[in-house]
Amino acid sequence: MESNTQSPDIPKWSALLVEAVNKPGLILEAYNAFHRYSVGNQLLALVQCQLRGIQPGPINTFPKWQELGRHVKRGERALTLCMPITRKRRDENADTNDEPSREHTYTSFAHRARWFVISQTEGEELAAMPIPQWDAEQAVANLNIERIDFDSTDGNCQGFARKRQIAINPVAQLPYKTLFHEAAHVTLGHTAEGDFADGETTPRSLREVEAEGVALLCCESLGLEGAAYCRGYIQNWLSQGTGSNADAIPEKSAQKIFRAADQIIRAGRTEPEQSTEAEQ
Ligand SMILES: [Zn+2]
Protein backbone atom coordinates (compact mmCIF):
# COMPACT_ATOMS: atom_id res chain seq x y z
CA MET A 1 0.00 0.00 0.00
CA GLU A 2 2.83 2.37 -0.75
CA SER A 3 2.72 5.24 -3.09
CA ASN A 4 5.23 7.84 -4.12
CA THR A 5 2.56 10.04 -5.59
CA GLN A 6 0.51 10.36 -2.40
CA SER A 7 -1.02 13.79 -2.19
CA PRO A 8 -0.50 15.72 1.05
CA ASP A 9 -4.18 15.58 2.09
CA ILE A 10 -4.20 11.77 2.07
CA PRO A 11 -3.29 10.56 5.57
CA LYS A 12 -0.75 7.82 6.15
CA TRP A 13 -2.14 4.43 7.21
CA SER A 14 -0.67 4.87 10.67
CA ALA A 15 -2.40 8.25 11.09
CA LEU A 16 -5.68 6.74 9.90
CA LEU A 17 -5.34 3.91 12.38
CA VAL A 18 -4.58 6.24 15.29
CA GLU A 19 -7.61 8.32 14.28
CA ALA A 20 -9.77 5.18 14.40
CA VAL A 21 -8.30 4.24 17.77
CA ASN A 22 -9.07 7.66 19.22
CA LYS A 23 -12.57 8.08 17.76
CA PRO A 24 -14.98 5.37 18.90
CA GLY A 25 -17.62 4.76 16.24
CA LEU A 26 -15.47 5.79 13.27
CA ILE A 27 -14.72 2.19 12.21
CA LEU A 28 -18.36 1.14 12.46
CA GLU A 29 -19.54 4.15 10.47
CA ALA A 30 -16.92 3.45 7.80
CA TYR A 31 -17.90 -0.22 7.62
CA ASN A 32 -21.61 0.52 7.36
CA ALA A 33 -21.08 2.97 4.51
CA PHE A 34 -18.24 1.33 2.60
CA HIS A 35 -18.16 -2.40 3.49
CA ARG A 36 -17.51 -3.41 -0.12
CA TYR A 37 -14.08 -1.82 0.13
CA SER A 38 -11.03 -2.83 2.12
CA VAL A 39 -10.90 -1.75 5.77
CA GLY A 40 -8.15 0.80 5.06
CA ASN A 41 -10.08 2.30 2.16
CA GLN A 42 -13.27 2.44 4.24
CA LEU A 43 -11.58 4.72 6.74
CA LEU A 44 -9.81 6.67 4.00
CA ALA A 45 -13.17 7.34 2.32
CA LEU A 46 -14.92 8.30 5.54
CA VAL A 47 -12.21 10.71 6.65
CA GLN A 48 -12.32 12.47 3.27
CA CYS A 49 -16.12 12.69 3.46
CA GLN A 50 -15.88 14.23 6.92
CA LEU A 51 -13.22 16.74 5.82
CA ARG A 52 -15.31 17.85 2.86
CA GLY A 53 -18.72 17.65 4.49
CA ILE A 54 -19.96 14.91 2.16
CA GLN A 55 -22.67 12.52 3.35
CA PRO A 56 -21.11 9.00 3.41
CA GLY A 57 -22.83 6.38 1.25
CA PRO A 58 -22.21 4.04 -1.67
CA ILE A 59 -19.16 4.92 -3.77
CA ASN A 60 -18.33 4.09 -7.36
CA THR A 61 -16.11 5.32 -10.13
CA PHE A 62 -17.42 7.81 -12.72
CA PRO A 63 -18.12 5.13 -15.40
CA LYS A 64 -19.67 2.78 -12.85
CA TRP A 65 -22.14 5.48 -11.79
CA GLN A 66 -23.07 5.98 -15.45
CA GLU A 67 -23.64 2.25 -15.74
CA LEU A 68 -25.98 2.48 -12.74
CA GLY A 69 -27.95 5.30 -14.37
CA ARG A 70 -26.52 8.14 -12.31
CA HIS A 71 -24.05 10.85 -13.19
CA VAL A 72 -21.53 12.79 -11.16
CA LYS A 73 -22.65 16.37 -10.54
CA ARG A 74 -20.67 19.22 -12.07
CA GLY A 75 -17.71 20.39 -10.05
CA GLU A 76 -17.56 17.36 -7.74
CA ARG A 77 -14.06 16.27 -6.82
CA ALA A 78 -13.24 12.54 -6.72
CA LEU A 79 -12.29 10.78 -3.49
CA THR A 80 -8.92 9.10 -3.33
CA LEU A 81 -8.62 5.41 -2.52
CA CYS A 82 -5.73 2.99 -2.57
CA MET A 83 -6.02 0.46 -5.36
CA PRO A 84 -4.04 -2.55 -6.53
CA ILE A 85 -2.23 -2.13 -9.83
CA THR A 86 -0.92 -5.10 -11.76
CA ARG A 87 2.41 -4.49 -13.43
CA LYS A 88 4.62 -6.65 -15.60
CA ARG A 89 8.27 -7.31 -14.96
CA ARG A 90 10.73 -9.33 -17.00
CA ASP A 91 12.75 -11.87 -15.10
CA GLU A 92 16.33 -11.14 -16.15
CA ASN A 93 17.89 -13.66 -13.80
CA ALA A 94 16.64 -16.90 -15.30
CA ASP A 95 18.46 -19.93 -13.92
CA THR A 96 19.50 -21.35 -17.23
CA ASN A 97 20.41 -19.79 -20.53
CA ASP A 98 18.08 -22.16 -22.35
CA GLU A 99 14.97 -20.48 -21.07
CA PRO A 100 13.97 -17.17 -22.49
CA SER A 101 13.48 -14.48 -19.84
CA ARG A 102 9.96 -14.78 -18.53
CA GLU A 103 7.46 -12.09 -17.83
CA HIS A 104 6.09 -11.89 -14.30
CA THR A 105 3.13 -9.89 -13.14
CA TYR A 106 3.11 -8.38 -9.70
CA THR A 107 0.73 -6.19 -7.78
CA SER A 108 1.58 -2.90 -6.19
CA PHE A 109 -0.69 -0.29 -4.62
CA ALA A 110 -1.20 3.32 -5.50
CA HIS A 111 -3.53 6.13 -4.46
CA ARG A 112 -5.89 7.30 -7.18
CA ALA A 113 -8.65 9.94 -7.12
CA ARG A 114 -11.42 8.11 -8.98
CA TRP A 115 -14.38 7.57 -6.66
CA PHE A 116 -17.54 9.54 -5.97
CA VAL A 117 -20.06 9.11 -3.17
CA ILE A 118 -23.71 8.77 -4.14
CA SER A 119 -24.44 12.23 -2.71
CA GLN A 120 -22.05 13.65 -5.34
CA THR A 121 -24.21 12.15 -8.08
CA GLU A 122 -27.79 12.39 -9.32
CA GLY A 123 -30.04 10.15 -11.38
CA GLU A 124 -31.92 6.91 -10.90
CA GLU A 125 -32.70 5.67 -7.42
CA LEU A 126 -30.32 3.03 -6.18
CA ALA A 127 -31.42 -0.07 -4.29
CA ALA A 128 -30.11 -0.16 -0.73
CA MET A 129 -27.13 -2.44 -0.27
CA PRO A 130 -27.54 -4.75 2.71
CA ILE A 131 -24.60 -5.20 5.07
CA PRO A 132 -23.33 -8.79 4.74
CA GLN A 133 -23.72 -11.30 7.55
CA TRP A 134 -20.59 -12.62 9.18
CA ASP A 135 -19.79 -16.07 10.59
CA ALA A 136 -16.81 -16.80 12.86
CA GLU A 137 -16.47 -20.50 12.06
CA GLN A 138 -16.54 -19.84 8.33
CA ALA A 139 -13.88 -17.15 8.77
CA VAL A 140 -11.57 -19.49 10.66
CA ALA A 141 -12.04 -22.25 8.07
CA ASN A 142 -11.47 -19.92 5.10
CA LEU A 143 -8.32 -18.57 6.71
CA ASN A 144 -7.03 -22.13 6.95
CA ILE A 145 -6.88 -21.86 10.72
CA GLU A 146 -7.75 -24.82 12.95
CA ARG A 147 -9.58 -24.32 16.24
CA ILE A 148 -8.19 -26.61 18.91
CA ASP A 149 -9.21 -27.28 22.51
CA PHE A 150 -7.99 -24.85 25.12
CA ASP A 151 -5.42 -26.82 27.12
CA SER A 152 -3.64 -24.07 29.00
CA THR A 153 -3.64 -24.28 32.80
CA ASP A 154 -2.83 -20.58 33.13
CA GLY A 155 -6.00 -19.01 34.54
CA ASN A 156 -5.12 -15.59 33.08
CA CYS A 157 -4.69 -16.93 29.59
CA GLN A 158 -7.55 -15.88 27.31
CA GLY A 159 -6.37 -17.75 24.25
CA PHE A 160 -3.34 -18.81 22.31
CA ALA A 161 -2.06 -19.34 18.79
CA ARG A 162 0.37 -21.99 17.55
CA LYS A 163 1.40 -22.18 13.90
CA ARG A 164 -2.05 -22.24 12.21
CA GLN A 165 -3.99 -23.33 15.28
CA ILE A 166 -5.84 -21.17 17.77
CA ALA A 167 -7.59 -21.90 21.04
CA ILE A 168 -9.92 -19.65 22.99
CA ASN A 169 -10.48 -20.05 26.73
CA PRO A 170 -14.10 -21.31 27.09
CA VAL A 171 -14.59 -18.69 29.79
CA ALA A 172 -12.77 -15.90 27.94
CA GLN A 173 -14.11 -12.51 28.95
CA LEU A 174 -14.38 -11.26 25.38
CA PRO A 175 -14.43 -14.38 23.19
CA TYR A 176 -14.76 -12.58 19.83
CA LYS A 177 -12.00 -10.15 20.68
CA THR A 178 -9.75 -13.04 21.68
CA LEU A 179 -10.68 -14.96 18.53
CA PHE A 180 -9.73 -11.96 16.34
CA HIS A 181 -6.56 -11.39 18.32
CA GLU A 182 -5.38 -14.99 17.97
CA ALA A 183 -6.45 -15.25 14.32
CA ALA A 184 -4.49 -12.03 13.76
CA HIS A 185 -1.31 -13.56 15.21
CA VAL A 186 -1.66 -16.34 12.63
CA THR A 187 -2.65 -14.09 9.72
CA LEU A 188 0.11 -11.57 10.50
CA GLY A 189 2.67 -14.38 10.39
CA HIS A 190 3.64 -14.09 14.06
CA THR A 191 3.07 -17.76 14.81
CA ALA A 192 5.49 -18.81 12.10
CA GLU A 193 8.09 -17.45 14.54
CA GLY A 194 6.80 -18.83 17.87
CA ASP A 195 3.77 -19.60 20.02
CA PHE A 196 1.57 -16.97 21.59
CA ALA A 197 -0.21 -17.36 24.87
CA ASP A 198 -2.17 -14.25 25.67
CA GLY A 199 -2.81 -13.34 29.25
CA GLU A 200 -2.23 -10.46 31.59
CA THR A 201 1.50 -11.06 31.57
CA THR A 202 1.90 -10.75 27.80
CA PRO A 203 4.59 -8.17 27.04
CA ARG A 204 3.43 -5.04 25.30
CA SER A 205 5.37 -5.71 22.18
CA LEU A 206 4.64 -4.39 18.74
CA ARG A 207 3.22 -7.76 17.75
CA GLU A 208 0.63 -7.49 20.51
CA VAL A 209 -0.36 -4.05 19.31
CA GLU A 210 -0.68 -5.38 15.78
CA ALA A 211 -2.93 -8.24 16.92
CA GLU A 212 -4.97 -5.90 19.10
CA GLY A 213 -5.29 -3.41 16.25
CA VAL A 214 -6.73 -6.13 14.04
CA ALA A 215 -9.11 -7.14 16.84
CA LEU A 216 -10.26 -3.52 17.20
CA LEU A 217 -11.02 -3.17 13.49
CA CYS A 218 -12.87 -6.50 13.39
CA CYS A 219 -14.86 -6.02 16.62
CA GLU A 220 -16.03 -2.53 15.79
CA SER A 221 -16.74 -3.19 12.10
CA LEU A 222 -18.89 -6.19 12.95
CA GLY A 223 -20.45 -4.67 16.07
CA LEU A 224 -19.03 -7.37 18.35
CA GLU A 225 -18.05 -6.76 21.96
CA GLY A 226 -14.39 -5.98 22.67
CA ALA A 227 -13.60 -2.79 20.76
CA ALA A 228 -13.44 -0.69 23.94
CA TYR A 229 -10.89 -3.04 25.47
CA CYS A 230 -8.70 -3.01 22.34
CA ARG A 231 -8.95 0.76 22.14
CA GLY A 232 -7.78 1.15 25.74
CA TYR A 233 -4.91 -1.27 25.21
CA ILE A 234 -3.62 0.52 22.10
CA GLN A 235 -4.07 4.00 23.61
CA ASN A 236 -2.10 2.90 26.64
CA TRP A 237 0.66 1.53 24.44
CA LEU A 238 0.74 4.69 22.33
CA SER A 239 0.91 6.92 25.39
CA GLN A 240 3.95 5.05 26.64
CA GLY A 241 5.79 5.81 23.43
CA THR A 242 7.94 3.49 21.42
CA GLY A 243 11.34 5.07 21.07
CA SER A 244 11.73 7.11 17.93
CA ASN A 245 8.11 6.54 16.95
CA ALA A 246 6.59 7.96 20.09
CA ASP A 247 3.20 9.07 18.81
CA ALA A 248 2.26 6.61 16.10
CA ILE A 249 2.16 2.99 15.14
CA PRO A 250 4.87 2.26 12.52
CA GLU A 251 3.50 2.70 9.00
CA LYS A 252 4.43 -0.86 8.06
CA SER A 253 2.57 -2.24 11.08
CA ALA A 254 -0.48 -0.13 10.25
CA GLN A 255 -0.52 -1.58 6.72
CA LYS A 256 -0.24 -5.10 8.12
CA ILE A 257 -3.07 -4.42 10.58
CA PHE A 258 -5.45 -3.15 7.89
CA ARG A 259 -4.62 -6.03 5.57
CA ALA A 260 -5.10 -8.72 8.24
CA ALA A 261 -8.39 -7.24 9.47
CA ASP A 262 -9.61 -7.15 5.91
CA GLN A 263 -8.68 -10.81 5.34
CA ILE A 264 -10.45 -11.91 8.52
CA ILE A 265 -13.63 -9.94 7.82
CA ARG A 266 -13.85 -11.05 4.19
CA ALA A 267 -13.23 -14.68 5.16
CA GLY A 268 -16.33 -14.71 7.36
CA ARG A 269 -18.84 -13.09 5.01
CA THR A 270 -21.73 -15.41 4.37
CA GLU A 271 -23.08 -13.62 1.33
CA PRO A 272 -21.51 -13.52 -2.10
CA GLU A 273 -19.01 -10.73 -2.40
CA GLN A 274 -19.69 -8.00 -4.91
CA SER A 275 -16.94 -6.45 -6.92
CA THR A 276 -14.52 -4.36 -4.90
CA GLU A 277 -12.03 -1.61 -5.51
CA ALA A 278 -10.28 -3.58 -8.22
CA GLU A 279 -12.83 -2.05 -10.55
CA GLN A 280 -11.57 1.01 -12.35
ZN1 LIG B 1 -1.27 -11.82 21.58
Q: Is the pLDDT of residue 127 over 80?
A: yes
Tell me, in angstroms, the distance from the centre of ligand 1 to residue 210's CA.
Answer: 9
From CA 126, how far away is CA 213, in angstroms rounded?
A: 34
Q: What pTM did the predictor assign?
A: 0.85
Q: Please tell me the predicted confidence (pLDDT) of residue 147.
A: 96
Tell me, in angstroms, the distance from the centre of ligand 1 to residue 181's CA.
Answer: 6
Q: Please tell me the predicted confidence (pLDDT) of residue 187.
A: 96
Cα distances (angstroms) measured from residue 79 to each of 51, 111, 265? 11, 10, 24
Q: Please tell me the predicted confidence (pLDDT) of residue 68.
A: 94
Q: Please tell me the predicted confidence (pLDDT) of residue 53.
A: 95
Q: Whats the size of the chain, residue-wise?
A: 280
Express as a percent the part of the chain with pLDDT over 70: 83
**Choice between 171 and 201, residue whose per-residue pLDDT is larger:** 171
- What is the chain's mean pLDDT, rounded? 86
Tell me, in angstroms, the distance from the centre of ligand 1 to residue 198's CA.
Answer: 5
Tell me, in angstroms, the distance from the centre of ligand 1 to residue 165's CA.
Answer: 13
Helix (H) or strand (E) segment spanning residue 84: strand 79-90
Q: Please tell me the predicted confidence (pLDDT) of residue 139.
A: 97
- For residue 45, the 8-state DSSP code is H
Q: Tell me the longest C-alpha to C-alpha distance in the chain.
A: 65
237-276 per-position pLDDT tens digit? 888 765 544 567 888 999 999 999 999 999 999 975 554 5
Q: Please tell me the predicted confidence (pLDDT) of residue 279.
A: 42
Q: Please tell me the predicted confidence (pLDDT) of residue 6.
A: 53
Tell me, in angstroms, the distance from the centre of ligand 1 to residue 182's CA.
Answer: 6
Tell me, in angstroms, the distance from the centre of ligand 1 to residue 18's CA.
Answer: 19
Query: What residues are neighbours of ligand 1 (ion), with CB under 5 Å?
Result: 196, 198, 208, 211
Least confident of 6-10, 77-81, 113-117: 6-10
Q: Please tell me the predicted confidence (pLDDT) of residue 272.
A: 58
Name the band, by pLDDT with cuts 50, 70 and 90, for residue 280: very low
Tell me, in angstroms, the distance from the centre of ligand 1 to residue 226's CA.
Answer: 14
Q: Is the pLDDT of residue 7 over 70?
A: no
Tell me, in angstroms, the distance from the centre of ligand 1 to residue 188's CA.
Answer: 11
